[in-house]
Amino acid sequence: MIPAPSQKKSNKTDWLTTPFAAVLCLAADFLSKRWAETNLSGSAVQPFIPKLLNFNLTSNTGAAFSIGKDSSMVMTALASVVTVVLLLWYISREKEEIKPDTLERTGIGFIFGGALGNLLDRFMKGSVTDFLDFAFMTFPVFNVADAMIDVGIGLILISMIRAWRKDKPPVEPEQ
């Protein structure tokens, strides 16, 4: 019998998945924001993928959806606390008897990398650089870190659903 992903034995290096994913996301976010600041004008929306995605350089002192706008110090402190809590949660997951699977570890890394990317911006500039804008709908301008956080949440949810389905006892047909 093959063990369910949530019950699979971990290798000693499996925990490296999370920091590796975090570093990749942090690097992608950092490089994309610096590119945007160098190559985009703050006053003009530029099509990137027509009718799908535009470039629209903005600076956000608040959190997601500009919550807490113009409260940069409070948002930086809050983001720092949330990032530390995320790190502590990851460490506690790694100490559990049933370790996270690769999908969950990758998701945690994406969230952590995205959180660090936005936090780095806050410490360096006092605000977060946003530059991606959906062309087909009204939605707040966002960045690679925001997208990575969303992808990370999705990966964790998929991992949880897969583990739940594997651990769920089979349903007996009615007679």
Would you name the residues annotated as active-site residues? 130, 146
Contacts of 73 (CB under 8 A, 6+ apart): none
Q: With DSSP H G I counted as helix, E B as strand and the rest as coil, what are the percentages for the chain, rounded to 5? A: 60, 10, 30
CA 103 to chain centre: 13
Contacts of 145 (CB under 8 A, 6+ apart): 25, 29, 113, 114, 115, 117, 118, 121, 128
